[in-house]
């Protein structure tokens, strides 16, 4: 058995052919992407509710028009449960479509990008987002049923979606940063994305009120198109000596074989178990996120009778608190007190569990804000877990393992909405908070998993010793 050894930075550079040079900033791209998506998200949800009410349930347009209102009234209260149940089914089907292709692509793209570069893994999903945003705009102008909306997700799915964008961005950060600065840089990208969510959430309701849904969706599509064009032109490739790849070169089963062999190799001191358990915790956290994502607005409409404006303000405050919580976590807990990635990830999971408990017990609006306050460290976990993986695996294995994590997490938008939507649909009349009870249980299990990895690492002499493979 080989002893754990630290791979020198220069050796890691050779492994992945790093190219640190100007043009390696992706923060603006993430800010603009999340700005466009959060700007249009709730308006799209209202549009689906309206189209479901009119085209599927056959209610009158005047009767259903309140679903499009920025300020919710009680006019559609008697329709809410019926419309929500069907709209949830539509959104779940859309989530399945958006998850299938990214899950399959992620199995190939990790090894593929080692030869053909990281930039395609970033610009392809942005192109898919831009194309889908344009199709959503067209859908809003054509009076058809909600099932046609699902077709707008095809470009997003075939371009790799969030799974490929996540793999590409975290691999890119691993290439262009040193071990010491990697966690902070990955979190900077996450902060940029959070800033876009805050800006989009705050602008959504007033822009919708001022110009209407069509022009709001036009603005979102324009932002997405600009983001793709800007990134494609100005973002430099992080690797040198890359070979131009083609779509046919991706679907090579040898790429999957290479990834599997490297990701599941035995490593010293339960190294294989360490990274796989971390990946499991990250996947379960993503499962909760994707399960709750499309239900929180419906939950607040049903239980607290919130308007769109109230929800968008809450979303902005929630993201803003997470933004400042992240800054405190990185600058104080990790920067000043030197708390390493895994213990801080455990703190993040405890913060998330406290949030879901508060929302489970919510009977008034301020309880939702209490939950958001308790969740200030919640957003740290994704960056911390990936940062940990990038530091303990050899540099030529990092992207392969991140791709494996993305492949597994790509199944979350596929499975989580089915589980959560089924549970919410069955309990919306009696116990709509049951989805938060489920979330609490899953996050508590994530805390246990992090504890297991910390137990495995109790004999590590340094926080981030590289886990070299054992000889066959």
Top-confidence range, 288-292, 334-338, 448-452: 448-452
Report d(CA 208, CA 433) in Å as an integer. Answer: 29
Sign of CA dihedral 316, 184, 110, 416: negative
N residues, the chain: 472
Specify whether the CB–CB gap between 255 and 108 falls below 8 A: yes
Distance from the Cα of residue 230 to its chain's centroid: 22
Listing DSSP states for 171-230 in one string gives: HHHHHHS-HHHHHHHHHHHHHHHHHHHHHHHHHHHHHHHHH-HHHHHHHHHHHHHHHHHH
Say yes or no to pLDDT of 472 above 80: no
Quick one: pLDDT at residue 396?
Answer: 84
Is the per-residue pLDDT at 451 higher than 90? Answer: yes
Model confidence band, residue 415 (pLDDT cutoffs 50, 70, 90): confident
Q: Are 442 and 432 in contact (CB under 8 A)?
A: no
Tell me the Ramachandran region of residue 60: left when phi exceeds 0, alpha when psi lies from -120 to 50, beta otherwise: beta
Phi, psi of 470 (to 5 degrees): -80, 150
Q: Give the start-to-end residue ranges of the domains of the chain.
A: 9-459
In this prediction, residue 354 carries a pLDDT of 97
Q: How far apart are the C-alpha atoms of 298 and 88, rounded to whole Å?
A: 9
Lowest mean pLDDT among 20-24, 258-262, 419-423: 20-24
CATH architecture of 9-459: Up-down Bundle (1.20)
Give CA–CA dist 342/347, Å, rounded. Answer: 9
Task: Check residues 309 and 196 and name the one with the higher pLDDT.
Answer: 196
- Rounded to an integer, the average pLDDT of 110-136 is 94
Tell me which DSSP letter residue 378 carries. Answer: G
pLDDT the model gives residue 22: 40
For 292-332, write each residue's pLDDT tens digit: 987 898 899 888 888 877 887 898 888 889 888 988 988 89
CB of 59 closer than 8 Å to CB of 98: no
Token look-up 């983001």 returns 227
Q: Residue 457 CB: number of other CB atoms within 10 A?
A: 19
Q: In 3-state terms, what secondary structure has residue 118? A: coil
Which SS3 state, helix, strand or coil, does residue 18 take? strand
What's the pLDDT at 98?
A: 86
Average pLDDT value for residue range 402-431: 88
Q: What is the pLDDT of residue 78?
A: 72
Amino acid 465: pLDDT: 65
Contact in structure between 362 and 371 (CB atoms under 8 Å): yes
Per-residue pLDDT averaged across 103-110, rounded?
89
Given a cut of 70, whether residue 471 has pLDDT beyond it is no
- Confidence bin at 75 (pLDDT 50/70/90): low
Retrieve residue 425's tokens. 């649909």
pLDDT at 13: 43
Q: To the nearest whole number, what is the mean pLDDT of the chain?
A: 86
pLDDT above 60 (res 14): no
d(CA 290, CA 271): 29
For 239, the token pair is 């690797």
For residue 338, what pLDDT band results from cuts at 50, 70 and 90?
Answer: confident
| Residue 25 confidence (pLDDT) | 78
**What does the DSSP assignment read for 395-453?**
HHHHHHHHHHHHHHHHTHHHHHHHHHHHHHHHHTTT-TTHHHHHHHHHHHHHHHHHHHH
Q: Is the pLDDT of residue 18 over 60?
A: no
CA 305 from chain centre, in angstroms, equals 27
pLDDT at 124 over 90: yes
pLDDT (0 to 100) of residue 154: 95
pLDDT for 82 beyond 90: no
> What mean pLDDT comes out for the span 428-439?
92
Q: What pLDDT score was predicted for residue 462? A: 60
Least confident window among 192-201, 244-253, 378-387: 244-253
pLDDT at 410: 86
How many CB atoms are closer than 10 A to CB 241? 9
pLDDT band at 131 (very low <50, low <70, confident <90, very high): very high
pLDDT at residue number 197:
83
Which whole number is the average pLDDT over 354-359? 96
pLDDT score for 223? 97
Token code pair at residue 99: 């998850």
More confident position, 3 or 242: 242
Q: Taking the chain, what is the end-to-end CA distance rounded to the nearest angstrom?
A: 10
Residues in CB range of 268: below 8 A, 6 or more apart: 1, 2, 3, 4, 467, 468, 470
Give CA–CA dist 17/258, Å, rounded: 19
Q: By three-state DSSP, how is residue 338 classified?
A: coil
- Interatomic CA distance for residues 440 and 446, integer angstroms: 10
Burial 83-112, CB ≥16 within 10 A → b, else e: bbbbbbbbbbbbbbbbbbbbbbbbbbbbbb
Task: Report the C-alpha gap between 221 and 275 in whole angstroms.
Answer: 38
Q: How confident is the model at residue 404 (pLDDT cuts 50, 70, 90)?
A: very high
Average pLDDT over residues 153-165: 92
21-56 pLDDT per residue, tens: 445 579 999 999 999 999 998 899 889 999 999 999
Q: Is the pLDDT of residue 63 over 60?
A: yes
């Amino acid at each position: 058995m080989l002893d754990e050894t630290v791979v020198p930075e220069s050796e890691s550079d050779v492994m992945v052919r790093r190219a640190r040079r100007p043009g390696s900033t992706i923060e603006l791209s993430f800010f603009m992407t999340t700005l466009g998506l959060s700007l249009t998200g709730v308006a799209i949800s209202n549009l689906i509710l309206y189209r479901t009410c009119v085209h599927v349930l056959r209610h009158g347009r005047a009767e259903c028009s309140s679903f499009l209102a920025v300020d919710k009234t009680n006019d559609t209260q008697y329709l809410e449960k019926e419309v929500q149940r069907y709209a949830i089914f539509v959104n779940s089907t859309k989530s399945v479509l958006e998850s299938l292709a990214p899950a399959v692509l992620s199995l190939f793209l990790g090894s593929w990008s080692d030869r053909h570069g990281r930039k395609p893994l970033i610009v392809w999903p942005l192109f898919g987002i831009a194309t889908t945003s344009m199709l959503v705009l067209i859908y809003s102008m054509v009076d058809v049923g909600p099932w046609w909306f699902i077709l707008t997700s095809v470009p997003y799915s075939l371009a790799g979606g969030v799974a490929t964008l996540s793999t590409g961005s975290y691999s890119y950060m691993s290439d262009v940063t040193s071990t010491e600065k990697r966690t902070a840089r990955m979190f900077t990208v996450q902060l940029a994305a959070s800033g876009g969510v805050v800006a989009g959430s705050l602008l959504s309701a007033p822009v919708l009120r001022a110009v209407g849904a069509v022009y709001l969706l036009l603005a979102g599509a324009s932002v997405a198109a600009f983001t793709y064009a800007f990134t494609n032109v100005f973002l430099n490739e992080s690797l040198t000596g890359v070979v131009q790849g083609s779509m046919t070169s991706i679907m090579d089963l040898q790429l999957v074989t290479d990834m599997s062999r490297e990701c599941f190799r035995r490593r010293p001191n339960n190294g294989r178990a360490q990274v796989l358990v971390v990946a499991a915790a990250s996947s379960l956290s993503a499962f909760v996120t994707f399960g709750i994502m499309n239900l929180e607005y419906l939950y607040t409409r049903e239980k607290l009778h919130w308007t769109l404006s109230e929800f968008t303000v809450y979303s902005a405050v929630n993201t803003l608190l997470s933004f400042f919580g992240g800054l405190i976590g990185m600058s104080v807990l990790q920067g000043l007190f030197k708390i390493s990635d895994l213990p801080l990830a455990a703190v993040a999971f405890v913060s998330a569990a406290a949030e879901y408990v508060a929302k489970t017990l919510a009977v008034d609006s301020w309880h939702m804000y209490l939950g958001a306050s308790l969740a200030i460290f919640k957003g740290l976990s994704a960056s911390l877990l990936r940062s940990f993986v990038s530091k303990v695996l050899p540099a030529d294995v990092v992207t392969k393992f991140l791709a494996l994590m993305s492949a597994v997490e790509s199944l979350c938008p596929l499975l989580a909405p089915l589980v959560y939507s089924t549970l919410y649909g069955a309990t919306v009349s009696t116990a709509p908070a049951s989805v938060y009870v489920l979330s609490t249980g899953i996050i508590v299990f994530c805390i246990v998993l992090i504890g297991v990895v910390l137990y495995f690492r109790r004999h590590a002499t340094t926080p981030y010793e590289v886990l070299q493979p054992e000889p066959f």
